[in-house]
Amino acid sequence: MTPAKLPAYEQVKAFIKTQISRGVWRAGDAVPSESALQQQFGISRMTVNRAMKELAVEGVVTRIQGSGTVVAQLHRISSTLAIRDIHDEILERGHRHSTTVLTVEAMRADAALAQVFKLRTGARLFHSVLVHFEDGVAIQLEDRHVNPASAPHYLELDFNACTPTHYLLEHAPLTEASYSIEAGLASAQEARQLGIKRGEPCLVMTRSTVSGPHVASLARLLYPGNRYSFSGNFQL
């Protein structure tokens, strides 16, 4: 079936995937049991089990203990969306990254911020606003609030040398994060800061991160619509 010398469990996975993508087995159909595949391939059950477990993780099949394995309802396309330090991202594209720092300050949480950070209204927070440039073109406006409990020395940083994202990942080990991506318009001020026209569409990512017991940071990231996109792909 497969030309190269693949590990046995990969051969099993490839076999299952081929049957599905060729339409031999359709969503909801039963997949042969582990013992059946064990005999068919002449390998041990642990090896078959590994193959099937990985397929289940990939979302290709659904397994129900005591019942069996069926081809998953592929009514979704799943792919991993990686959210990375913009500095690394730009360097990897072979471009130059630079930063303009617009604001670095301590401030007091209003009711909304207090709720996000699970602190009381009026609690002390750090606040920074930066613009990130890729080869001199603004691609991200980063408006960030930081919990002093997670990064007490945040205000002393040189953000030209180390991005907030980088610093926080280093000093506040990440335990949890959530994000949402929507479309929005740049305000007059934001447009000026990004060097785009007012009313230009932007991707708006809002992201909060948790480190240990604290909500470490809340970031609002604004990307000019025609200069940035999130992309990904799915296979099989």
CB of 7 to DNA, least distance (A): 3
Quick note: the x/- pattern for DNA over 67-106, rule CB under 7 A, is xxx-------------------------------------
CB of 19 to its own copies, least distance (A): 10
Give the three-state DSSP class for 74. Answer: coil
Per CB under 8 A, the segment of 29-37, 81-89, 132-140, 154-162 that binds its own copies is 81-89
Q: How far is CA 41 from CA 15, 44, 182, 184, in A?
A: 10, 9, 48, 54
Quick note: the x/- pattern for DNA over 5-44, rule CB under 7 A, is --xxxx--------------------x-xxxx-----xxx
Sole binder of its own copies in the list 160, 176, 197, 198 (CB under 8 A): 176
Per CB under 7 A, the segment of 65-73, 89-97, 133-141, 189-197 that binds DNA is 65-73
Cα(55)–Cα(9) distance, rounded to whole angstroms?
11
User: Which two structure tokens, joined as six digits, stand for 122?
Assistant: 């009026």
Q: Does 44 bind its own copies (CB under 8 A)?
A: no
User: Which two structure tokens, joined as six digits, stand for 63?
Assistant: 């397994």
Which partner in its own copies, DNA, none is near 47 (CB below 5 to 8 A by kind)? DNA
**Which C-beta is closer to its own copies: that of 65 or that of 235?**
235
Cα(145)–Cα(30) distance, rounded to whole angstroms?
51
**Which C-beta is closer to its own copies: that of 102 or that of 162?**
162
Terminal Cα-to-Cα distance of the chain (whole angstroms):
17
Per CB under 7 A, the segment of 58-66, 100-108, 180-188, 205-213 that binds DNA is 58-66
Sole binder of DNA in the list 21, 29, 45, 195 (CB under 7 A): 45
Q: Does 219 bind its own copies (CB under 8 A)?
A: no
Q: How many CB atoms lie within 10 A of CB 40?
A: 12
Sign of CA dihedral 110, 111, 117, 120: positive
Q: Does 122 bind its own copies (CB under 8 A)?
A: no
Cα(159)–Cα(235) distance, rounded to whole angstroms?
38
Q: How many CB atoms lie within 10 A of CB 87?
A: 16
Evaluate whether 82 touches 75 at the Cβ level (below 8 Å). no
Number of residues in contact with its own copies, rule: CB under 8 A?
59
> What is the pairing mode between strands 97-108 and 137-146?
unpaired
**Which C-beta is closer to its own copies: that of 74 or that of 123?**
74
